[in-house]
Amino acid sequence: MKAVLQRVSEASVKVDGAVVGSCGAGLMILLGVAQGDSEEDARLLATKIANLRIFCDGAGKMNLSVKDIDGEALVISQFTLMANYKKGNRPDYLESAPPAEADRLYEYFKSLMAVELRHVGCGIFGADMKVSLTNDGPVTIVMDSEVLKKKKA
């Protein structure tokens, strides 16, 4: 499972011209689910993301988590994070989980984040979405649950 985190002042997502999810100050999270990912992958990422100290304290040092600042999140499914671009110029997405499994784990990840944060907005799985955000910093971090699993070993 891969996640791209962006520290934001605000973010929103529209489907068919209507806002379906938004957040204030906090994180916009693009989440990609790969074949073989499990609930453990979602738990590892959700825990790490909720506690990641990438927000500034009073001294301007990145010392606070999204939980510490009472921040929010916007979580958007993003199967293209699983793109394989090694061959040719058209990426394939064969490493992506099948839609039903990806949606299940996306929903599970959102539920884990909702336990940690006061507000978690979301997109609509599989929809054509238009995302708007005001990047804060900018601070952008790419995470992979496989890296977190190796840390545990």
Mean pLDDT of 43-58: 97
Task: Give the separation between CA 1 and CA 49, rounded to whole angstroms.
Answer: 13
Query: How far apart, in Å, do the first and last CA atoms of the chain sit?
Result: 18
> Could you say which of 79, 125, 134, 140 is catalytic?
79
Query: What pLDDT is stored for residue 48 in this prediction?
Result: 97
pLDDT tens, residue by residue, 59-96: 999 999 999 999 999 999 999 999 999 999 999 999 99
pLDDT tens, residue by residue, 112-132: 999 999 999 999 999 999 999
79 is catalytic: yes
Evaluate whether 31 touches 77 at the Cβ level (below 8 Å).
yes
Considering the entire predicted model, what is its pTM?
A: 0.95
> Could you say which of 80, 125, 134, 140 is catalytic?
80
Instruction: Residue 17: give the domain boundaries.
Output: 2-152
80 is catalytic: yes
78 is catalytic: yes
Q: What CATH number should be reported for the domain holding residue 101?
A: 3.50.80.10
> Could you say which of 78, 109, 125, 140 is catalytic?
78
Q: Percent of the chain at pLDDT above 70?
A: 99
The phi, psi pair for 104, rounded to 5°, reads -60, -45
Per the structure, the count of domains in the chain is 1
